[in-house]
């Protein structure tokens, strides 16, 4: 899908949200696999199931609840997106980036993209939290491909600092204040849905990746295109294929996110407090 009509669809969704949400949230948080619980911690919340938002793509992945919750945490108004769509579900990347685009048109200035990821860096352990310093797009596509709509942003947007230095510093400060260990690294975004082979993981390590996952990159690119400040956080739910020799599956991913849920929510609260 090119951009023709996308802008109008994005604005139609933003308009419905604006009518229901009261004050426009300052920041948006996209909650990855098993991390949607943060949405339940918002005070005075308005919940909008994705199904009720015009043109909003629906996700069918287990662990992705599918709702937008706007409310207050740490004294700040935020939009929490519990559930997202992925390219491996068969969506074009412009569809995958739709929610991030709506947040931008709603007036959000900062977007926090969270995900479950496999640990490629052998120094990582299961359950670690990683602040994304940069990404490698290995999806084989780009959400900005097709006709450019200048109302979103320029044809050839700069990607020197996709993940805002300022927001990464805030995340570090929040972690210190809450006594939480965080690490930093490069996230490689792959199409999926099959997990990687051990040879692919060795390749990813060689090219400089520390973690691997199937989301975040399209949203980050579209958000930067629109001039939003982006922060990316990965929960290392498993060590990637071949690091330990045992196989793993999506249940292992969800089990880890359940285990680190409290820590993850504390970190997000600390971040929002400092925005």
Q: Which residues bind ligand HPA (CB under 6 A)?
A: 116-118, 195-196, 212-214, 237-238, 240, 253
Distance CA 68, CA 49 (A): 6
Catalytic residue among 28, 79, 116, 226: 116
Collect all residues with Cβ–Cβ distance below 8 Å to 17 and sequence separation of at least 6.
48, 53, 68, 70, 79, 102, 106
Distance CA 25, CA 22 (A): 9
Catalytic residue among 55, 88, 173, 255: 88
215 is catalytic: yes
Catalytic residue among 215, 220, 229, 234: 215
- Indicate the residue among 66 and 118 with the shorter CB distance to ligand HPA: 118
Tell me which residue has tokens 């995958």. 96
250 is catalytic: yes
Catalytic residue among 3, 94, 137, 238: 238
Neighbouring-strand partners of residue 47:
69
238 is catalytic: yes
200 is catalytic: no
- Shortest approach of ligand HPA to residue 191 CB, angstroms? 10
- Shortest approach of ligand HPA to residue 214 CB, angstroms? 5
- Shortest approach of ligand HPA to residue 190 CB, angstroms? 6
- Indicate the residue among 28 and 253 with the shorter CB distance to ligand HPA: 253
- Indicate the residue among 73 and 117 with the shorter CB distance to ligand HPA: 117
86 is catalytic: yes
- Indicate the residue among 11 and 200 with the shorter CB distance to ligand HPA: 200
Collect all residues with Cβ–Cβ distance below 8 Å to 8 and sequence separation of at least 6.
none
Distance CA 16, CA 48 (A): 10
Query: What is the DSSP annotation of 174-201?
Result: HHHHHT---EEEEEEEE--SSPPPHHHH
Cα separations (Å) of 102 from 21, 68, 178, 231?
A: 14, 11, 31, 17
Which residue number is nearest to ligand HPA in terms of Cβ? 118
33 is catalytic: yes
Give the active site residues: 33, 64, 86, 88-89, 116, 214-215, 238, 250
């Amino acid at each position: 899908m090119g951009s023709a009509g996308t802008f109008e669809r994005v604005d139609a969704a933003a308009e419905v949200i604006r009518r229901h949400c009261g004050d426009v949230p300052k920041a948006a948080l996209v909650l990855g696999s098993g991390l949607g619980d943060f949405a339940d911690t918002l005070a005075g919340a308005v919940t909008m199931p994705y199904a009720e938002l015009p043109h909003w793509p629906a996700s069918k992945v287990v662990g992705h609840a599918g709702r937008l919750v706007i409310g207050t945490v740490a004294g700040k108004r935020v939009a929490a997106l519990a559930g997202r769509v992925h390219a491996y579900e068969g969506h074009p990347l412009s569809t995958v980036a739709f929610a991030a685009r709506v947040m931008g048109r709603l007036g959000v200035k900062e977007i926090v993209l969270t995900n479950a990821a496999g640990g490629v860096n052998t120094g990582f352990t299961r359950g670690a939290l990683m602040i994304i310093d940069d990404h490698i797009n290995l999806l084989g596509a780009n959400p900005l491909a097709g006709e450019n709509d200048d109302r979103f942003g320029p044809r050839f947007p700069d990607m020197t600092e996709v993940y805002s230095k300022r927001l990464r510093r805030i995340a570090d400060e929040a972690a210190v204040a809450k006594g939480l260990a965080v690490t930093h690294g490069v996230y490689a975004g792959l199409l999926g849905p099959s997990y990687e082979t051990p040879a692919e993981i060795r390749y990813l390590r060689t090219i400089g990746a520390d973690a691997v996952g199937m989301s975040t990159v399209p949203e980050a690119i579209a958000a930067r295109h629109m001039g939003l400040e982006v922060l990316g956080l990965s929960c290392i739910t498993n060590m990637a294929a071949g690091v330990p020799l045992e196989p793993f599956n999506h249940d292992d991913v969800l089990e880890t996110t359940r285990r680190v849920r409290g820590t993850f929510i504390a970190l997000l609260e600390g971040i929002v407090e400092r925005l």
